[in-house]
Amino acid sequence: MAKEMAAIGLHCKPEQVLILSGSQQGLDLVAKLMIDQGTQVAVESPTYLAALQVFGFFGAKFVPITASVLPNLTYAIPSFQNPSGHCMSLAQRQDLARRCDQSNSLLLEDDPYRDLVYDDCHRTPVCAWLKSAPWVYLGSFSKTMLPGLRLGFLVASENLITPLTRLKQAADLHSNRLSQWLVLGLLQHPERTQRMAQLIANYRHKRDAFEDRLKHYFSEFANWDTPAGGLFYWITLKETHKGKTDTRALLPRAIEQGVAFMPGEKKLAAIFQS
């Protein structure tokens, strides 16, 4: 994995890599290490719901990632963000790294979707641009290999890897060895590159088909940006002559028609103020 990281611009030693029971475990480990009741955490709006739940469980108070001075912990999903689908530009990545350095804010970079890329865009990890701030980079095998095995990894700056490893050992001793063996076989498989190309082509086809249906049925009713990769569309419904649409009320009606979606609500503003 250290070699894999070097190939995408994030240079580290093998000793800085920790295999996880799913990258979700990495969120839990960092939260245990960094968050007490009232600890401020900078997040995007919107952001990954399960991350907010983990951080909130330990007592986090959320502030916008756009704040001029970042708190001790900053959480970001730079590539094909969940749920917005946004991919940070090179300038945005460098700016976030600069502000983390200035504030000495630990950057927790969650990057499980980076390999699912359909259009040209910049994907060098933000952690690669840091000069002094501590950092943790999270990756996953579930989006491109075997979701049911629940295996992921983190890479951390040298001052963080030891406490994170101890927290991991306290939780489960080590990640499932059979899962690790299977993933290692896939990583070393001679046809890995061809398989990834087929996977990306399949997802791109699904993205394009979904985009086509959106344009056909939703152009009059909603706005959206076409994601350059990943698994998410963020769709904003337009106001009609009847006013705003309640997406929570719309969800059960959509499910009856075989369509599921995640309702989006502008609640982070209230979270930031709490």
Residue 189: predicted pLDDT:
96
pLDDT per residue as tens digits for the range 181-207 = 999 999 999 999 999 999 999 999 999
- Note the pLDDT of residue 273: 46
pTM (2 decimals)? 0.94
Domains in the chain: ranges and CATH: 2-189 (3.40.640.10), 192-271 (3.90.1150.10)
Residue 259 CA to residue 247 CA, distance in Å, equals 13
- Model confidence pLDDT, tens digit, residues 211-259: 999 999 999 989 999 999 999 999 998 887 566 778 888 899 999 999 8
- Cα–Cα distances (Å) from 178 to 181, 183, 264, in that order, read 5, 9, 38
Question: Three-class SS of residue 139?
Answer: strand
Q: What is the largest CA-CA distance in the chain?
A: 60
Gap between the Cα atoms of 123 and 91, Å rounded: 11
Assigned token pair, 194: 């061809």
d(CA 261, CA 263): 6
**pLDDT number for residue 269:** 47
The CB density around residue 248, as the number of other CB atoms within 10 Å, is 9
Which residues of the chain, if any, have pLDDT below 50? 269-270, 273-274
b/e burial code for range 189-199 (CB count within 10 A of at least 16 → b): eeeeeeeeeee
* pLDDT, averaged across the chain: 94
140 has which bridge partners?
Answer: 152
> For residues 91 and 82, what is the distance between their CA atoms, to the nearest angstrom?
20
